[in-house]
Amino acid sequence: MAKGNIIGREYEQHVLQNICEEKEARLVAIYGRRRVGKTYLVKQFFNEEFDFFFTGSYEAPMKAQLALFCETLREYSGRTWSIPKDWFEAFHQLRDYLSSIEKERIIVFLDELPWMDTPKSKFISAFGYFWNSWASSRNGLTMIICGSATSWMLDRIIGDPGGLYGRVSRTIYLAPFNLHEVEQFLTQRKCIIWNRYQILELYMIMGGIPYYLEMLEKSLPFNKNIDNLFYRKGAPLRTEYDFLFRSLFKSSNIYHQVVEAVAKKNKGLTLKEIKESLGYSNSGKLTEVLNNLIKCDFLRKYYAYGKKERGAIFQLTDPFSLYHIKYLAPHSGQDEHFWSNIKESARNTWAGYAFEQVCLHHIDQIRSKLSIKGVLTNTCSWSSPKQVDNDGTEWPGVQIDLLLCRGDHIIDMCEMKYSQDFFTISSEYEQILRERQSTFVHFTKTKDAIHTILVTTYGLKQNKYSGCIYATVTMDDLFTP
């Protein structure tokens, strides 16, 4: 298979290659958020040499979908087919066509499967019958199915309790690019040579979504690219946020509300706090919404140190959504050069929090720099309000956003600091770090050793206060594969 044009995705390509070398029929489900590159991966890997390729149409009724399916079948088979009355007949026609192909390996690609599943279409029943009654026993058949509606793919296909239960041979989750892959994409695909500080800022705005990166123009400076994509009249990414939700979720309003409620508090909200914020009483529905947002890479669910399930916190970690809520929505339709003209202080306020989210997307790189990839590690946070002990001892309010709790009885207390230069530890900040550590030890009663880790852009400037930092992780470390 030709794979030279694919950036990253080594594991996913390895899985596809193994599948293609197997004799038995295989059903492969690929899922991941919209614009992440699922279709591109499949098309490039197979050189677009499919025996049948059909993609669903967004919000098209069943009759229109079936007409398009029939036309596609005609193009591939060279035969005339009547427009099927339902999906059962459509898949029966597909079976007839595929049965006529005399090849050792047959590749079928059905893209945007969730869009084919229109109301009352019985699409899942028809597809399940097609696979179980014929396709699963057709040696040499590889069927790839894709969908951007991640929750639909997980619930209706991969986790289907009905006819498709246990039928998916392999699942492939396609995540957004990491910083290393974004750098590769810009240099190899777009011939854009930016320094890592600029690429980091780009990631804090767009995340690792290839579709958005493809829109960048190499002839324009960084700030001008952002203005053109987000702020000028008709900017292509100005309305992307709303369309993203509509295309992923049938009832998108509640998803909007949850994401924007969670975004108001940097550390995130508990389920109880979200319910109170929205005035929402249906815990079951809200839990479903939260789980779907996690599956689609909008939120992360994490726990405070020492807390169990009831203490779960939901935090917005999608860079694109964060940027839209904080900087695009409030300024939409105003200055077309907003990003070029924004005050440095205002940009830095956003950048501090956005950088923390980038770090959370690169925990593996942080662990690698700390040489603990082989050590069992749990990621959590911890906070404590300002309080006074019975003996009169005053303890400051503390918020620790990233703790790496290691199996070797060491806790790495990570400080994530965005800086335009080497980060300097002042006497005041050293005192804050020491108070933070002592407060954590006092209230958690931990016996583990505490290491304070600095994660920053350019590194740590050495001075008489920098000795409180056990190890430093830099921006370059986050760019490692």
Tens of pLDDT, residues 242-265: 888 888 887 788 999 999 999 988
Residue 337 has pLDDT above 80, yes or no: yes
Distances from the Cα of 194 to the Cα of 216, 371, 418, angstroms: 12, 29, 18
Hey, which bits of 2-55 come out as E strands?
Answer: 26-31, 52-55
CATH number of 241-325: 1.10.10.10
- Convert the pLDDT of each residue in 91-123 to its tens digit: 999 999 999 999 999 999 999 999 999 999 999
> What is the DSSP code string of 63-113?
HHHHHHHHHHHHHHH-S--PPPSSHHHHHHHHHHHHHT---S-EEEEEE-H
Other beta carbons less than 10 A from residue 223's beta carbon = 16
Cβ-contact 97, 76 below 8 angstroms: yes
pTM across the whole model: 0.91
Instruction: Name the residue among 385, 461, 388, 381 with its Cα closest to residue 419.
Output: 461
CATH 3.40.1350 residue spans of the chain: 362-478
CATH 1.10.10.10 residue spans of the chain: 241-325
Q: What's 362-478's CATH class?
A: alpha beta
Q: What's 10-173's CATH class?
A: alpha beta
Which one has a higher pLDDT value, 386 or 248?
386
Secondary structure (3-state) at 387: strand
Residue 2 has pLDDT above 60, yes or no: no
User: Which residues neighbour 394 within 8 Å (Cβ) at sequence distance 6 or greater?
Assistant: 386, 387, 388
Integer Cα distance of 238 and 333 in angstroms: 9
- Convert the pLDDT of each residue in 279-327 to its tens digit: 988 788 899 899 889 988 899 998 888 876 667 899 999 999 999 998 8
Instruction: Name the residue among 22, 41, 23, 24 with its Cα closest to residue 32.
Output: 41
User: Which residues neighbour 30 within 8 Å (Cβ) at sequence distance 6 or greater?
Assistant: 12, 38, 41, 42, 144, 145, 146, 147, 171, 172, 174
In the chain, how long is the greatest CA-to-CA distance?
A: 88
Per-residue model confidence (pLDDT) at position 31: 92
Cβ-contact 450, 437 below 8 angstroms: yes
Per-residue model confidence (pLDDT) at position 246: 84
Per-residue model confidence (pLDDT) at position 344: 81
Cβ-contact 459, 422 below 8 angstroms: yes
Integer Cα distance of 481 and 476 in angstroms: 11
Give residue 379's identity as a one-letter amino acid code. Answer: T
Other beta carbons less than 10 A from residue 126's beta carbon = 21
Residue 391 has pLDDT above 90, yes or no: no
Integer Cα distance of 128 and 168 in angstroms: 11
Per-residue model confidence (pLDDT) at position 419: 94
pLDDT confidence of 53, banded at 50, 70, 90?
Answer: very high
What is the 8-class DSSP label of residue 135?
G
